[in-house]
């Protein structure tokens, strides 16, 4: 109703407003990165601290636990490596002494100049996990199949069917006293 897609973007806006209001004589830069993912190079390729944003989906695919995902194949997904974000943040630090009434706002993203579509990400993940597979509990390589990008309706139908089968199995186990 008020122009924000979700609570996350709304709370980021609130934080920026508080900074603008209460910063006093402190120089201020507003830095807005896209979805931060694993590093490109530093400290080593693919590094990230924890699993956030797209990482759990990527790891689930690499572990062979995810073979389809509800998505539109040609949608642009704006991911940015964590080391690019760190370097850009350093480059945007305010220069000079004291407060300036001007507040610079930087967007650290790639989709405008270098759009990355979800189907390209899917293909890159398939290649990456073929080349460097994750290992199972016994140290054997996991070879995930191709990931299917499916429309939301088809995904929900299959998900609900799985839930019904699971509920049926659980009812059977309960009836057997298990």
Residues designated catalytic: 8, 12
Q: Report how far residue 113's alpha carbon sits from residue 170's, in angstroms, rounded to the nearest whole number.
A: 51
- Six-digit token string for 51: 């699993």
> Peptide bond preceding 146: is omega within 30 degrees of 0, i.e. cis?
no
- The position carrying tokens 């760190």 is 86
C-beta of residue 23 within 8 angstroms of C-beta of residue 101: no
Reported residue count of the chain is 178
C-beta of residue 94 within 8 angstroms of C-beta of residue 23: no
Q: Where are the alpha helices (DSSP H) in 4-51?
A: 7-22
- Other CB atoms within 10 A of residue 171 CB: 10
How large is the angle between the packed helices 118-131 and 55-62, nearest 10 degrees? Answer: 40
DSSP one-letter string for 147-163 = PEEE-HHHHHHHHHHHH
């Amino acid at each position: 109703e008020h122009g924000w897609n979700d609570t996350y973007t709304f709370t980021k806006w609130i934080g920026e407003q508080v900074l603008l209001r209460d910063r006093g004589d402190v120089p201020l830069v507003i830095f807005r990165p896209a979805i931060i993912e694993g590093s490109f190079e530093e400290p080593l390729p693919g590094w990230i601290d924890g699993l956030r944003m797209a990482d759990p989906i990527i790891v689930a695919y690499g572990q062979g636990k995810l073979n389809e995902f509800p998505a539109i194949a040609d949608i642009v997904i704006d991911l940015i490596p964590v080391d690019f974000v760190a370097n850009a943040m350093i480059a945007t630090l305010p220069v000079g002494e004291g407060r300036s009434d001007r507040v610079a706002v930087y967007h650290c993203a790639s989709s405008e100049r270098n759009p990355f579509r979800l189907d390209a990400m899917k293909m890159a993940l398939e290649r990456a996990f073929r080349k460097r597979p994750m290992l199972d509990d016994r140290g054997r390589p996991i070879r995930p199949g191709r990931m299917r990008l499916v429309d939301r309706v088809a995904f929900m139908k299959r998900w609900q069917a799985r839930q019904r089968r699971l509920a049926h199995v659980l009812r059977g186990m309960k009836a057997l006293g298990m």
